[in-house]
Amino acid sequence: MAIGSSNSTFFERAYSDRSPKVWYGFSRPIYHNLMGLLFGHRFSKSQYGGMIRHTEAAMLSRWASEIPRDGCIVEIGCYGGLSTSYLYLGASKKNGRIFSIDPFDSDLEKQEDLTDQAVSLDQKPGMQLVRSRLDEIGAGDKVELIEGYSQEVVKNWDRKIDFLWIDGNHDQALQDYLDWAPFLNPGARVGIHDAHPRYGIQLVADDARKIFSTDEWERLDHVKSIIAGTRKT
Ligand SMILES: C[S@@+](CC[C@H](N)C(=O)[O-])C[C@H]1O[C@@H](n2cnc3c(N)ncnc32)[C@H](O)[C@@H]1O
């Protein structure tokens, strides 16, 4: 993979961010914080048991609203549906469709083997609960929940994707990207959660750097623990 020098500079700056979060720092923190204040409080984090910050939630909605008309979003790692709901808010502006993959509360023994157990397996939200949350906000068939594992679901996948959001097993962010990359449309966005050494997980940050350091990316962005970019057209 060819390393793009501009992308290397991006990572040096993004990953060395130690500055006060509002006034200084890399990647438009004032803009992201403002977006978070305005658009990142629609759903209750505590009620959903969600794991995204208000700034991240607002930017997810924003990016989802930037897909082409009738576009497709794939989310790996739904949990209680918090990020899914924010994705829906944005995607609905483009009549977009979201496919969100998670084992939910199925076969917990299998989950012990196949997930990193970053979330407690006790009282994990079930698909029905998430479905009802999505129905309450009118998502209907615009959000399809898929009970399963990204690495299994991809084997039967056949749709092009405009936004791939990776927030599943933290041990396999790179593998998730490699599995799903063949389905990305030109100009598609990829976002990876927990991909910053300070706000996320070092292993995921290392994976994100490997993914986005090639010269096939543009519009790289860093929003707290998220690193995102769009594929060049
Ligand atoms: C950090 S949580 C996702 C949080 C959610 N995106 C949010 O912001 O509300 C990670 C979820 O990914 C699920 N998961 C783990 N491995 C997975 C895989 N291979 N495919 C799909 N989901 C997976 C976990 O069970 C868990 O529910």
Domain total of the chain = 1
pLDDT of residue 2: 44
pLDDT of residue 9: 82
Strand locations in the chain (E): 72-76, 97-102, 143-147, 161-166, 184-192, 217-223, 226-231
Of ligand 1's listed atoms, the one at least distance from the Cα of 124 is 27
Going residue by residue through the chain (233 aa), what tens digit of pLDDT does each one get? 444 556 888 888 888 866 545 554 556 788 898 999 999 999 999 999 888 999 999 999 999 999 999 999 999 999 999 999 999 999 999 999 999 999 999 999 999 999 998 999 998 999 999 999 999 999 999 999 999 999 999 999 999 999 999 999 999 999 999 999 999 999 999 999 999 998 999 999 999 999 999 999 999 999 999 999 999 99
Find the CATH number of the domain harbouring 135.
3.40.50.150
Q: Is 77 near ligand 1, meaning CB less than 6 Å away?
A: yes
- Give the separation between CA 12 and CA 7, rounded to whole angstroms: 9
Q: How far is the CA of 47 from the centre of ligand 1 (A)?
A: 17
- Domain residues for the domain of 19 are 5-231
C-alpha dihedral, 33 to 26 to 16 to 84, nearest 10°: 40
| Residue 187, burial from CB neighbour count under 10 angstroms (0-12, 13-18, 19+) | middle
Q: What is the largest CA-CA distance in the chain?
A: 46
pLDDT of residue 20: 44
Pocket test for ligand 1, best of 54, 102, 170, 174 (most atoms within 8 A of CB): 102
